[in-house]
Structure 1
Amino acid sequence: MTSTSHELLAGATAELAPEPHANPLVPLVAEGRADRAALAALALEQCRIIPADRRSFLHLAARAADAELPACADFFGVLAEGESVALDRLGPLLAACGSDEDAVAAYVPTAGCQAYPAYVAWLALNAEPADAVLALTANFAAWGGYCADLATALRGRYGFSDEACGFFDFFAGPAPDLDRAVLAALQEGLDLERLTPAAALRQGRLLQDYEAMFWTSLAARA
């Protein structure tokens, strides 16, 4: 029986779910034991990650359009728009962490934190667009859960305001437009035989590994 986009996404998300202890930072934040320097580093790393990912998604949108995959192009366009929103919400988080413009300019990013966006850029140049849709989306479920936990802990343990937590709230909240876009993109890839689940899962596993490096690198500062 031919897979549907719902079945494909559910299976990939389950298969690529991270191990329970893959993120050593979030439990420390949840307990109020993480140093604020680690929280500042998280925000400062995102200053580099978000613009890079946005450019990668725009490139994937353009490649998908050239490949006559309009639903995939729409999906990556929605992702790029989301990165713009996230970037707007980063300022209050930086301020709450005590990081000003000088701190942003002087910050030296770490390889462990920047490996993820580097691989997203690789996907933008090399992956089949429909495969990248599945690989990225299967990874987003874990990221959204982490953001929800961080938003709760930063309010309760560190006294961050709603505005300061807006960055994490954005990624933790419902995204009906993105949900519709991803299912349409995956179904397009299936219908046109332009999606290779095995390749997408390999890419998704690397994304999960690189995300684990991100959290581990930050936890070393906690």
Structure 2
Amino acid sequence: MGLVVLLAMTQPATADIATNQQDAKALIERLEKLYLKGPTPVFVLQLEKNTLPDAKLQAFAMEQRLINLSDLRSNALSLHRFGGLPGHSTRAFFTRITTAEIQANTLLPNLIQALGISPEQIAQYQPLAGAQAYPAYTTWLANYATPAEIAAALLINFQSFGKNAERVAKALKQNKRFTNEQLSFLMTFSQLPEGFREQAIDIIARGLASGVRENDIAIRVRLIQTYEREFWRAFEAKINTN
């Protein structure tokens, strides 16, 4: 009986969720203003000027391959942890990010092939610590964070990475004549999937109603965005992919 009471206490009331919807929206808007207007990575600027070494482009694709393989498992773990929680948005959100990683992994080989990366290069590639800090953190999130923290972090980061990924795709199309098929991986990040934002905000509202602090959510967003910047900075060093 005591366990039943405890479980009931940990589930947010419907009224609390409705009350926290506006708080969740306001929090996301503040975080978007804070993190979506940063400086453009040097990698992107050089690519747009057509001065980026091919080795760095190849490294970018091979880092993405490793990140996607890691994030697929992290997202699947989040789905395993939270897929049974009350509320359709939670299950739908974590199912969506897991299936999206599966799709991304089917599209990335098009870019890898377009960049002339051989299987031997992939096998011998030495990952950049700065670039792999990001998936290390998303693995931490999948293991230890609340649904609200994860949803906020991924909502902000999807938009941040997507903005740069779209510019990378446009530069490759203009400067290297890549086709839409070859750029399909990058373009999957060009805009938020329909309903993604609403699902994330609903999850955040439920988290706030159950006692998750706005500061905890803001910390997760700050850290994932810091690791995102480190990802792009990792390519500023001299790189040899041969």
Using structure 1 for the length normalisation, give the TM-score.
0.90
Q: Does 1:19 align with 2:35?
A: no
1:1-222 equivalence runs, <5 A = 2=20, 4=22, 5-17=24-36, 19-21=38-40, 23-68=41-86, 70-190=88-208, 192-221=209-238
Q: Deviations over 1:47-74 (max 9, x none)?
A: 1100111111111122223554552232
Aligned-residue offset at 1:181: 2.4
What CA distance in whole angstroms lies between the structure 2 residues aligned with 1:108 and 1:70?
A: 41
> Matches of 1:135 and 1:53 in 2, distance apart?
13
**Deviation per CA, 1:95-153, whole angstroms, max 9, x where unpaired?**
11111222222212111110000000011111112111112212221111001111110
Matched to 2:95, the amino acid is: G
Q: Contact (CA 8 Å) 1:54, 1:80: kept in 2 or not?
A: yes
2-structure distance, mates of 1:78, 1:182: 11
Identity in percent: 28
Return the offset for 1:7: 2.3
How many angstroms apart in 1 are the aligned matches of 2:54 and 2:150? 34
* Aligned 8 A contact 1:18 1:208 in 2: no
- Which residue identity does 2:28 align to in structure 1? L
Residue 127 to residue 174, structure 1, CA distance change in 2 (3 Å): closer
Deviation per residue, 1:163-192 (Å, 9 max, x gap): 1111111111341042332233223323x3
Query: Highest CA radius of gyration, 1 or 2?
Result: 2
Q: What is the alpha-carbon distance in structure 2 between the residues aligned to residue 188 and residue 161 of structure 1?
A: 42
- Tell me what 2:14 maps to: none
* Runs of at least 5 residues in structure 1 that lack an aligned partner in the other structure: none
For the aligned residue pairs, the C-alpha RMSD in angstroms reads 2.0
Give the secondary-structure state (helix, strand or coil) at the position aligned to 1:109: coil
How far residue 34 of structure 1 moved from its aligned partner, in angstroms, is 0.4
SS of structure 2 residue aligned to 1:120? helix
| TM-score under structure 2 length normalisation | 0.83
Change (3 A) 1:221 1:87: farther
